[in-house]
Amino acid sequence: MPTSERPAPAYPAFEVLSPARQTVPLVFNSPHSGRVYPPDFLAASRLDRSAIRRSEDTYVDELFAAANSHGAPLLRANFPRAWLDVNREPYELDPKMFSDRLPHYANVGSVRVAGGLGTIARIVSESEEIYDQPLSVTDALDRIEGYHKPYHRALAAMVGDTRQRFGLAVLIDCHSMPSAVRNGHSRQRPDVVVGDRYGTSCAPALTGLVIELLRGCGYAVARNKPYAGGYITEHYGKPARGVHALQIEINRSLYMNERTLERTASFEQLRLNLLKFIGDLADAIDAGLLAPPAAAE
């Protein structure tokens, strides 16, 4: 069914949580915390409802909603990453997933597509296949046109408006990660990973401050490994133009039971620590940590 004929969803595809007035040049984004799973998607999946949620950044939008208390907006997706990933280019698609031919402009050769995690994901977690039947290209393009592109129009507008108002913008892309990676053996991950695309998406002083503030909250923090930032960090982070982008990955074991997806007793402490972190970051930016670019484009 063409996009124009699809019925309107019963829920908003995404939401902007806004303070009464934006007072800082910070924009927060939670693209993978969506928990509304379309019934036809669940019906088409070979996974049960528990397994299909393993790629979800559960509760990350709630943890970072504290941004509103410090005068910063937060954009969050309601649709799940397993259905559509907005932290990918619009057309990073795996031709092996589809029953018909992809358009010529599709990026079929990216590393993310090869790993099963394109715009329309083939797997959840590290290896579990989502579908047991090929998808139609029309369905994929409907998701992209109806959800991916509107999401990025909203995010681009938030970042652009912030830069125009304050002379600069800082985008914090908020994610979570499994507590351990399993490649034949289990290896624990740090509490937080801060990604700046190896220094290209954000001023070093800002990356350094974010790491310092998070360590000051008592967390073990790594930079760029194993997550340097995805499409959002790379696409929006243009420090020379006054737009800085960082990806923050929170270890899920800090706040939830990874098997049951239930909040643990430490959820509230993490939320309070992030509230303090956001406030301290806002104060540092307000005090002149970052200078706007010398000349507007």
Domain for residue 107, yes or no?
Answer: no
Question: Which amino acid, one-letter code, is at 229?
Answer: G
Domain for residue 276, yes or no?
Answer: yes
The CATH number of residue 47's host domain is 3.40.630.40
What is the mean pLDDT for each group of 10 consecutive residues in the chain (297 residues)? 46 95 98 96 94 96 97 98 98 97 97 96 91 96 98 98 98 96 66 98 98 98 97 98 98 97 98 98 95 68
Domain for residue 130, yes or no?
Answer: no
Residues 123, 52: Cα–Cα separation, whole Å: 9
What domain range includes position 280? 12-81+152-286
pTM for this entry = 0.94
Domain for residue 222, yes or no?
Answer: yes
Residues 254, 272: Cα–Cα separation, whole Å: 13
Domain for residue 37, yes or no?
Answer: yes
Residues 246, 109: Cα–Cα separation, whole Å: 25
Domain for residue 193, yes or no?
Answer: yes
Number of domains in the chain: 1
Domain for residue 167, yes or no?
Answer: yes
Among 232, 262, 267, CA closest to 247? 232
Domain for residue 179, yes or no?
Answer: yes
**Would you call 132 exposed, middle or buried from its count of C-beta atoms within 10 A (0-12, 13-18, 19+)?**
exposed
In sequence order, the 6+-apart residues with CB closer than 8 A to the CB of 39 are: none
Among 211, 200, 169, CA closest to 75? 169
pLDDT given for residue 10 in this prediction: 63
**CB-CB neighbours of 260 under 10 Å:** 9
